[in-house]
Amino acid sequence: MHPLEKDTDNRKGRRLPLPAGPETAVYCRARDYEADTLIPLHHHPDRHQLVYAETGVLVVRAGMGRWVVPSTRAIWMPAGTGHQVHCIGQVQMRSLYVTPAAMRQPPAGPSAVSVTPLLAALIRAAASVQQPYVEDSRDGRVMRLILDEMQTLPVLPLHLPEPKDARLRMIGRQLERHPDDASTLHDWAQRLQVDVKTIQRLCTRELGMTFGQWRQQARLLRALERLAVGEKVIDVALALGYESPSAFTTMFKRRFGLTPSQFFR
């Protein structure tokens, strides 16, 4: 990993600098990581970053959220945003670093995005572009086209919000460790010694979703991690507490608009 500079606050972690050189609008870095590599909390203060998983799966934590980014998808990380990356399986990571002035209307916060076949091809081409590139050249035109493609990236529902409330955080830790846990709202209310309506209000206020939606999203994101490394649908469905593979597939398609086989095709 490239050198780490001075520590910053705990929310941003360490500052990771780009290589010294001219201020080109776009810079691409290609890195391959072994399975289970953890890239610690860090940030890039002067550039936005698009982290693209050409192969493998990335689990990214930033602020009060967690994203699962399967291969051929990406995560947008605004400049200065602290984030941590966990590589599930072997990962071929291709990162685009973009100066804020080069983006007209970038997404305001971290978000998982779909990558078009054109943008994927452009990212592969950008990885071999030598810095600095000449604007009026083939390399310069590749980079300008990348900027055009990045303006219209569709946001994907691959985000799991993380609550601040200690009681919800306890539930969240359990859902992360045991996504098949079938405990009801009433069960959790008894354990936490609160009213059911208290948990409902907290979920709405802190997560923007119901308890059931939160648990379902936690299960589906864990399913993405396991499917992306080659596990069978039937094994994933039963391990996550679904009654049958068909029930799991129905829920998956309702959330992502595609069946698991279509999603990973």
Q: What is the pLDDT of residues 24-46, one digit of tens each?
A: 899 999 999 999 999 999 999 99
Q: What is the CATH number of the domain that holds 130?
A: 2.60.120.810
Q: Is residue 5 part of a domain?
A: no
Asked if the bond preceding 132 is cis, omega within 30° of 0, the reply is: yes
Q: Give residue-wise pLDDT tens across range 196-236.
A: 999 999 999 999 999 999 999 999 999 998 998 889 999 99
Q: Is residue 42 part of a domain?
A: yes
40 & 90 share domain: yes
| Total number of domains in the chain | 2
Task: Provide CB contacts within 8 A for 259, sequence distance 6+.
Answer: 249, 252, 253
19 & 91 share domain: yes
Q: Is residue 156 part of a domain?
A: no
Q: What is residue 229's predicted lDDT score, i.e. its pLDDT?
A: 84
Q: Is residue 237 part of a domain?
A: yes
Q: Give residue-wise pLDDT tens across range 63-74.
A: 889 999 988 899
Range of the domain at 236: 163-263
Q: What is the CATH number of the domain that holds 177?
A: 1.10.10.60
Residue with tokens 């001075």: 6
Whole-prediction pTM: 0.82
CA distance 111 to 117: 19
Q: Is residue 98 part of a domain?
A: yes
Q: How many other C-beta atoms can be found within 10 angstroms of the C-beta atom of residue 182? A: 8
| Cβ(210)–Cβ(184) below 8 Å | no
